[in-house]
């Protein structure tokens, strides 16, 4: 735990170091999401999934890279991690517990919000992505009370990750998705 706290406090200083950490985090989350979904999706009966509303993909893409990251990072990272960080003097145990609970709430919100509603696997996938976003928030300033920088870094990471997830659908010519 001590090593993790020391690592989180070593904030990447400067634009390029911060950007490099953000891009590494996006790549890590994307590869993880892709690997787990490829393994799991083969065992899902896509024909019998509960179908929802058909929405144009461009609308979901635009929402996913603009509005969603701003509000999701505010509610699932900024508010809980800042409050707990200030109340408990950035105690790593409290922050990790908060990150875990926040990531679980983030995952649950994504599971009920649409897409492939495939239950616990979706919660697991989104939960790990939530933990990665918490790590970005804490590493890029959250542990050192530079909350605005931390918030901007986590919003940027979230937006880039969403763009990377939607890019293959756009490239393949998909025009509509069910939510």
33 found inside a domain: yes
Burial class (CB in 10 A: 0-12, 13-18, 19+), 72: buried
What pLDDT was estimated at residue 52? 67
Task: Give strand pairing partners of 178.
Answer: 54
Measured from the Cβ of residue 70, the count of other Cβ atoms closer than 10 Å reads 14
Instruction: Note whether residue 123 is domain-resident.
Output: yes
DSSP secondary structure letters along 27-66:
HHHHHHHHHHHHHHHTTS-GGGSPP--EEEHHHHHHHHHT
Q: Is residue 142 part of a domain?
A: yes
Chain-centroid distance, C-alpha 170: 20
Instruction: Name the most confidently modeled range: 58-67, 109-118, 136-145.
Output: 136-145
| Domain-located, residue 6 | no
Q: Residue 157 belongs to what domain range?
A: 14-40+55-178
Q: What percent of the chain has pLDDT over 70?
A: 87
Does the predicted TM-score (pTM) go above 0.85? Answer: yes
Residue 126: pLDDT above 70?
yes
């Amino acid at each position: 735990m001590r090593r993790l706290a020391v690592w989180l406090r070593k904030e990447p200083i400067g634009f390029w170091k911060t950007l490099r950490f953000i891009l590494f985090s996006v790549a890590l989350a994307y590869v993880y999401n892709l690997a787990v979904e490829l393994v799991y999706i083969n065992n899902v009966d896509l024909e019998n999934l509960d179908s929802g509303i058909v929405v144009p993909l461009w609308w979901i893409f635009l929402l996913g890279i603009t509005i969603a990251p701003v509000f999701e990072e505010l509610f699932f990272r900024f508010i809980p991690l800042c409050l707990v960080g200030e109340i408990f003097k950035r105690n790593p145990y409290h922050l990790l517990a908060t990150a875990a609970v926040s990531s679980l709430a983030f995952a649950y919100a994504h599971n009920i919000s649409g897409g492939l509603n495939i239950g616990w696997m979706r919660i697991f996938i989104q939960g790990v992505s939530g933990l990665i976003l918490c790590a970005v928030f804490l590493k890029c300033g959250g542990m050192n009370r530079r909350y605005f920088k931390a918030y901007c870094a986590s919003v940027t990471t979230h937006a880039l990750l969403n763009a990377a997830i939607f890019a293959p659908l756009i490239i393949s010519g998909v025009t509509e998705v069910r939510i």
